[in-house]
Amino acid sequence: MSVTVIRLCAVARWEPNGRLRLREAALELYAERGYEGTTAAEIAERAGLTERTFFRHFGDKREVLFEGEAALQDLLVATVNGSDASEPRAALAQGLQAMAVSLAPRRDALRRREAIIAAHPELRERELIKLASLSAALADALQARGLDPATARLAGEVSIALFRVAFERWIADANEQELTEHVGDALGQLALFA
Amino acid sequence: MSVTVIRLCAVARWEPNGRLRLREAALELYAERGYEGTTAAEIAERAGLTERTFFRHFGDKREVLFEGEAALQDLLVATVNGSDASEPRAALAQGLQAMAVSLAPRRDALRRREAIIAAHPELRERELIKLASLSAALADALQARGLDPATARLAGEVSIALFRVAFERWIADANEQELTEHVGDALGQLALFA
């Protein structure tokens, strides 16, 4: 009975958005029961939704962890598109910082997500694919702004590698420095190698 | 009958090393029959070896494409270990150029390999895992040379991203510029973003 009460309270706290509720429910269950030990039906139940609703939002339980990926990429591309075309370094920095601002409120959830991904090769591979996709989108956006294709591709790859490192530092950071500061630090350190 | 003659001639051309023969046979068959349409037994037969020998060298037909990966990583680490510890940028450049020199004689085989990998998500994922491993090894080597862990990780990620781009340019290059030159160019272009 008390479990039911707690669950109802939790439902009340959750956002009305089904995708976000499923994401949060999945993170809880992956931490409690392990990624392998959790089914899509259980995630739906925890979120107070039907299994059918789950599969309307996601192809499988893996994809729940990659919710928001398309929106992040769109934000990156839109920011670069809206930047000063004559300054590729500034366009890059603005694109990365826009992603940082967008991820900042989710540090706790992203930390839990990171722990699950780090423990599963299948998820690490999926994460690498996502980063490669971000890199390609960034390169395309820079090329559309007039950068030659080869340099745009280099800039995309290097920038996303840099963002990944800044993100890791942020996730691991006990001092709670903001992601935007970590991105700024990494951009500054790049000068050591260029 | 003529097929048999051709095969015997081909065997005579091949290196005595079983791993290299299997690698070359796999590239041929993947191009002829497709990656999915090729079995380990067929690769062994084309290489003039038994299936048992195949599985002594490789866990499966995917791993044939990643032959030499450990040696490349060892070379990178050894080069960084042997470099001037006070100059991380030079250590990096030397490590990347050592890999470039080692891969240079294999451009034709690497081109064919790249086409197969590009066409298969499973192989692209495996390739990304390999690059992540190279990056981690490079970061560890730089850290062992006195670089702080955070900067070493950044340097590892950025350098391998850069190497990957230089490698792609080399594979696509109709002018046959050397891989070492492509790596040098990419290192120079990094300055545009740092």
Q: What is the pLDDT of residue A4?
A: 44
CA distance B89 to B92: 5
Tokens 């962890």 locate to A65
Q: What is the pLDDT of residue A191?
A: 82
User: Cβ contacts (< 8 Å) between A168 and chain B: which residues?
Assistant: 153
A167 min Cα distance to partner chain B (Å):
11
Segments in A50-176 forming alpha helices (H)? 51-57, 69-81, 88-103, 107-118, 121-144, 149-172
A183 min Cα distance to partner chain B (Å):
11
More confident residue, A20 or B193: A20
Q: What is the ipTM of this complex?
A: 0.73
Q: What is the pLDDT of residue A163?
A: 96
**pLDDT tens readout for residues B30-76:** 999 999 999 999 999 999 999 999 999 999 999 999 988 999 999 99
CATH number of the structural domain A2-64: 1.10.10.60
Q: Which letter, b or e, does each residue of B11-29 get, where b requires 16 or more Cβ atoms within 10 Å of its Cβ?
A: eeeeeeebbebbbbbbbbb
Q: What is the pLDDT of residue A78?
A: 97
pLDDT tops 80 at residue A189: yes
At the second CATH level, the architecture of A68-193 is Orthogonal Bundle (1.10)
**pLDDT tens readout for residues A66-103:** 988 999 999 999 999 999 878 888 999 999 999 999 99
Q: How confident is the model at residue A16 (pLDDT cuts 50, 70, 90)?
A: low
Q: What is the pLDDT of residue B16?
A: 59
Query: Domain locations in chain A?
Result: 2-64, 68-193
Q: What is the pLDDT of residue A176?
A: 82
**pLDDT tens readout for residues B64-113:** 999 889 999 999 999 999 998 788 889 999 999 999 999 999 999 999 99
Q: What is the pTM of this model?
A: 0.80
Q: What is the pLDDT of residue A86?
A: 80
CA distance A47 to A22: 5
pLDDT tops 70 at residue A9: no
Any B CB within 8 A of A134 CB: no
pLDDT tops 60 at residue A1: no
Locate the chain A residue with the closest alpha carbon to B89: A193
